[in-house]
A and B are shown apart, each in its own frame.
Chain A
């Protein structure tokens, strides 16, 4: 059996690109996932979506993604309450005068791209969001269209829609190596030894991408890093924004479902290239640090009960941007991974463009700078507005 396209990875990136390709009638498409849809980083993520970035490139791209999230339930014919789009805004807090100045500078760039972020003094933050403790805050920026979407259901919705357009999805099917010859990519080999051939292969396997590319001798600079999250019991909806600090690293949001979801970057950062190293076990230290943060930032909610803590992998690259597009040394091979903590929110925006790229069409938004050749050329993509 030969396919036109094989996509490896059943996270947001894989399923959304599968859907967009099928919508463009790209031929016979097979998606392979070693566990189940959303089993990896998509299903562990904090569900936040925002256009408040610092570089024009990222602001423009996330504006596209937010616009896509706004029509996603309708387009994918999936219940809107499940997609769980909640645009309660991101409230980006500053904790020093220099940080405040740089946040305000970013707002100027955002306005230029019609992302109408508001600039709030500490007093205005207190007035608009009385639960937020503004001690030590020099000001905050707020973009009302940022917010939340449910990663599980968004991935499932894309999966179902892709299947309706004819994509074959095989869960619990692990790809152990890529198969190539002198001409280019040939297909993939499965854990059971079978080989499946395809004209094009897309690797969308998050932190597992480095390992898979290595099976044909490619060295992709992408590693996994453990990040921890917790969630509280659901309570009545009382708090609308995602409150976040790039300098202190925290982010806290009440989900539409009522629970509060929150995280902090790790104290100790590992660079895991080999899946055998991947450790997503939770730590006691995170509970202490997170509880301390809640007491400081949202003291009203410190009595809430924590229901569950977990960890997932950021899939990080040297400049914290995706590695996406064709792999020049191996014609027919593509990558789409390395969201560096933002894979879920970028997914719906990147997917249509990536589908264009794979089909040799002109790109509706120029993402060619995210190709992995940038590392060899030293043309890194720099983004200031990220958490740890």
Chain B
């Protein structure tokens, strides 16, 4: 398997190689990887990549996925990309 050919994040065009390299550099949490790769910060909001990345972290740290350090209390709405117009009070009366 060529790690360069495995797309992990479609929004930011990141491969498995990118993810493993960042983990090897010491960015060993979901929140740090978000910041250094912008993974999970695209339009999908991490719904595609997050579990894949957590599994990579779990393998690296030799933990189970539920033990991998991330901030479960930090919620980042909206659930899916939503236009400003949807929230306009005047137009929606």
Give A residues with C-beta under 8 Å from B. 35-39, 43, 152-153, 156, 172, 231, 233-234, 257, 280-282, 287-288, 290-292, 294-295, 301-310
Contact = CB atoms under 8 A, between A and B. Distances in A.
Contacts of A43: 35
B76 A302 contact: no
Interface string B39-56: 001110100000000000
19 contacts: A35-B31, A36-B29, A153-B35, A156-B35, A156-B36, A233-B43, A234-B42, A257-B38, A281-B75, A288-B88, A291-B87, A292-B90, A302-B85, A305-B81, A306-B78, A306-B81, A306-B83, A307-B45, A309-B78
A288 B82 CA distance: 12
B72 interface: no
A301 B83 CA distance: 10
A36 B75 CA distance: 18
B10 to A, nearest CB: 13
A303 B83 contact: yes
A292 B43 CA distance: 22
A41 to B, nearest CB: 14
Contacts of B89: 288, 292
Interface of B: 29, 31-32, 35-36, 38, 41-43, 45, 69, 74-78, 81-90
A52 B29 CA distance: 37
Contact of B84 (A153, A156, A231, A302): A302
B2 to A, nearest CB: 25
A90 to B, nearest CB: 22
Contacts of B84: 290-291, 294-295, 301-304, 306
A302 B29 contact: no
A302 B86 CA distance: 9
A291 B29 CA distance: 32
Give 6 closest A-B pairs by Cβ, nearest first: A305-B81, A291-B87, A152-B35, A291-B84, A302-B84, A308-B76
A302 B31 contact: no
A38 B35 contact: yes
Nearest to B73: A281
Contacts of A310: 74, 76
A292 B88 contact: yes
Given A36-B31, A306-B81, 10 more contacts: A37-B32, A39-B31, A282-B77, A294-B84, A302-B83, A304-B83, A305-B43, A305-B81, A306-B82, A307-B43
Contacts of A36: 29, 31-32
Contacts of A156: 35-36
Most buried by A among B36, B84, B87: B84
Contacts of A234: 42
A82 to B, nearest CB: 9
A282 B84 CA distance: 16
Nearest to B41: A308
A290 to B, nearest CB: 8
A233 B87 CA distance: 16
Contacts of B42: 233-234, 307
Contacts of A306: 78, 81-84
Contact of B82 (A39, A231, A257, A305): A305
A231 B77 CA distance: 11
